[in-house]
Amino acid sequence: MKIYKSILATGILLALFSVNMFAQEKEMTKDEWQSEMNRLAAQKVSLTSELNALKTEVANLKKTNNGLKSYDDCINELYSSLGVTKADVDNFGKQLADLSAKINAQTAPKADRQAELDAMKKNKMSALPEYFDKVSNKFQRKLDAWQDAPKEINYSVVKGDCLWNISKKKEIYANPFAWPIIYKANRDQIKNADLIFPKQNFKIPNLTEEEKSKYDKIRRTYKPAPPTQTAEPKDKK
């Protein structure tokens, strides 16, 4: 209320100040003075009307604000409409984060990631504002851009090759311990794992997740055998 009175008082003072300045610059007749007072009176009525309109607007805003629910109440009402709890929503978020990590790392098979995303799309919690765009758009675009590696590639043996060194190549498995996979896939050409020949053309299948885990573990835990020591000859007497 005080601020409204201050606004009105300021308007009136400015108006009177303008009259005073006008009177000092020019000597006013009685009619001119009366005309100016009438103008100021009308201005006062106008300002008062504007002030009352502002009061009404502020009162309406306060009424609207008092009728608004808190953020927490709105969220709880939203969860209730979906028939879920905050714990359910948090768990859905964790599952979504896990799927995001798999998609970003292109953890094969791609079909499994698509199945996971399709299941999440069917979950009613995917309609929540914090998840909708991720589930319906962003993750699907990433999956669509995911190019599956071929199931197998071909490798032509060159002089000096062995299954160990082929398997160790970065473009093959980057793990020499996975050489048995190449051996098993090419048993029709390899009779002895220690004997391969230049110009042989081998199939190199992709490793499954289980195979990757198996051979990575073998590589991590492998400890070379200590070198054998030959006994020194005894001094002849």
In this prediction, residues 115-137 reach a mean pLDDT of 95
- The answer to which of 14-23, 31-40, 82-91, 106-115 has the lowest mean pLDDT is 14-23
The CATH number given to 152-221 is 3.10.350.10
CA gap 163, 190 in Å, rounded: 10
The answer to whether 162 touches 154, Cβ cutoff 8 Å, is no
pLDDT higher than threshold 60 for residue 4: no
- The answer to which of 36-45, 65-74, 220-229 has the lowest mean pLDDT is 220-229
In this prediction, residues 189-195 reach a mean pLDDT of 94
- pLDDT band at residue 192 under the 50/70/90 scheme: very high
Q: Where are the domains of the chain?
A: 2-67, 74-145, 152-221
In this prediction, residues 50-66 reach a mean pLDDT of 90
pLDDT higher than threshold 90 for residue 113: yes
pLDDT higher than threshold 90 for residue 90: yes
Closest CA to 107 of 151, 152, 153, 148: 148
- pLDDT band at residue 237 under the 50/70/90 scheme: very low
What average pLDDT is seen over the chain? Answer: 87
In this prediction, residues 9-23 reach a mean pLDDT of 55
CA gap 1, 90 in Å, rounded: 47
- Beta strands (DSSP E) in 135-182 are 152-156
Tokens read off for 207: 């490793």
pLDDT higher than threshold 70 for residue 170: yes
pLDDT at residue 235, rounded to an integer: 53
pLDDT at residue 214, rounded to an integer: 95
Percent of the chain with pLDDT over 70: 85
pTM for the model stands at 0.48
192 DSSP 8-state letter: B
H helix count then E strand count, the chain: 10, 2
